[in-house]
């Protein structure tokens, strides 16, 4: 198991920033780590990367405990923090060579060249970091995180500030890396989670409130099913309220409706019977998937 977190807790004064969380991540999996601001995401990432110690519990990376073997953990982790600390007076290539030396890499010339190419930094390599746009500074941080070819990548808002073309490039890179490496990705961009992640962990007020695939999360709901239906006729909207379990009906146009249904039975069977009983011709019936944003709001109370 690449990452193993057991009963992890971090306390600041009277506040439990991380409150007894446990999860495991195998190699070759990209995990989206989501939560509102202040939920404990960055704190968990800092513990995993040995930047801060936990108050209780343990966090292991590739079998090494961050408290007992922090150097071994750091050898195996590439970390891109949300606020990427860079040296603005250094040139891009100079900074990456400096970072390689600091990581104890001896023959790093080819690896630096590879990371410059992979992250699309070639046109900017001779510029000072302070002259770069935010998007290119993110690329420098990502290149630095990958320099030592770590087994685990922990990325806190890795696509922040990127333009659409840069977004596509970096997402493709992360997806490719995730085929061989373990990636934990924190982001507020739900489309990014859907595009990249095999699994999603949602944390709220320091506790894990969901751990599932994107599809599994979307199948969750507050107990309601949304169905879009259309008929050849133009039935009265209030007619649907006679169906047990129908909570809300919204008319889209004369023939189309959105129906919110609360109940355990398959609403499709009920609607077919309803159409027959009321001499209506059912043209279309489609279950609406919840968006990841909807699920996130439900689970975090936002």
Three-state SS string across 67-98, please? CCCHHHHHHHEEEECCCCCCCCCCEHHHHHHH
- In this model, does residue 282 exceed pLDDT 70? yes
Which range among 12-16, 157-161, 250-254, 258-262 shows the weakest confidence by mean pLDDT?
A: 157-161
Burial class for 119, CB neighbours closer than 10 Å (0-12, 13-18, 19+): buried
Q: Are 300 and 294 in contact (CB under 8 A)?
A: no
Mean pLDDT, range 20-25, rounded to an integer: 98
Q: How confident is the model at residue 32 (pLDDT cuts 50, 70, 90)?
A: very high
pLDDT value at 157 more than 60? yes
Give how far Cα 18 sits from Cα of 70, 195, 206, Å: 20, 27, 4
Using CA atoms of 220, 223, 224, 225 in order, give the dihedral in degrees to the nearest 10: 50
Give the residue with greater pLDDT, 175 vs 162: 175
The percent of residues above 90 in pLDDT, for the chain, comes to 66
Both tokens of residue 207?
A: 């506790």
Domains of the chain and any CATH numbers? 3-218 (3.40.50.300), 221-291 (3.30.70.1560)
Instruction: Give me the mean pLDDT over the 139-154 stretch.
Output: 94
The DSSP call for residue 129 is G
**φ, ψ dihedrals at 95, nearest 5°:** -65, -45
What span, in angstroms and rounded, lies between the C-alpha atoms of 181 and 175?
A: 10
Structure confidence by residue, pLDDT tens digits, 89-131 = 999 999 999 999 998 898 999 999 999 998 889 999 999 999 9
């Amino acid at each position: 198991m690449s990452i193993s977190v057991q009963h992890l807790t971090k306390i600041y004064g009277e506040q439990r920033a991380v409150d007894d969380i446990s999860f495991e991540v195998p190699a070759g999996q990209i995990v989206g780590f989501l939560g509102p601001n202040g939920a404990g995401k960055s704190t968990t990432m800092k513990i995993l990367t040995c930047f801060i110690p936990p108050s209780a519990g343990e966090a292991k990376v590739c079998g090494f405990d961050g408290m007992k073997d922090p150097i071994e953990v750091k050898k195996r982790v590439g970390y891109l923090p949300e606020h990427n600390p860079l040296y603005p007076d250094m040139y891009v290539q100079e900074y990456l060579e400096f970072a390689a030396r600091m990581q104890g890499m001896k023959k790093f010339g080819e690896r630096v060249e590879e990371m410059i190419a992979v992250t699309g930094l070639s046109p900017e390599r001779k510029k000072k970091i302070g002259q770069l746009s935010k998007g290119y500074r993110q690329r420098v941080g990502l290149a630095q995180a990958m320099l030592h070819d770590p087994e685990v990548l922990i990325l806190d808002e890795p696509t922040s500030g990127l333009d659409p073309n840069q977004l596509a490039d970096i997402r493709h890179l992360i997806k490719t890396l995730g085929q061989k490496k373990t990636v934990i990705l924190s982001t507020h961009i739900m489309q990014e989670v859907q595009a990249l992640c095999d699994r999603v962990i949602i944390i709220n007020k320091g506790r894990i409130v969901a751990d599932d695939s994107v599809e599994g999360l979307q199948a969750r709901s507050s107990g309601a099913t949304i169905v879009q239906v259309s008929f050849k006729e133009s039935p009265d909207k209030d007619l649907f309220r006679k169906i047990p379990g129908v909570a809300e009906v919204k008319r889209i146009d004369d023939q189309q409706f959105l129906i919110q249904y609360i109940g355990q039975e398959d609403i499709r069977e009920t609607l077919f019977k309803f159409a027959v009983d009321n001499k209506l011709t059912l043209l279309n019936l489609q279950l609406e998937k919840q968006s990841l944003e909807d699920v996130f709001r439900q689970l975090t109370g936002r």
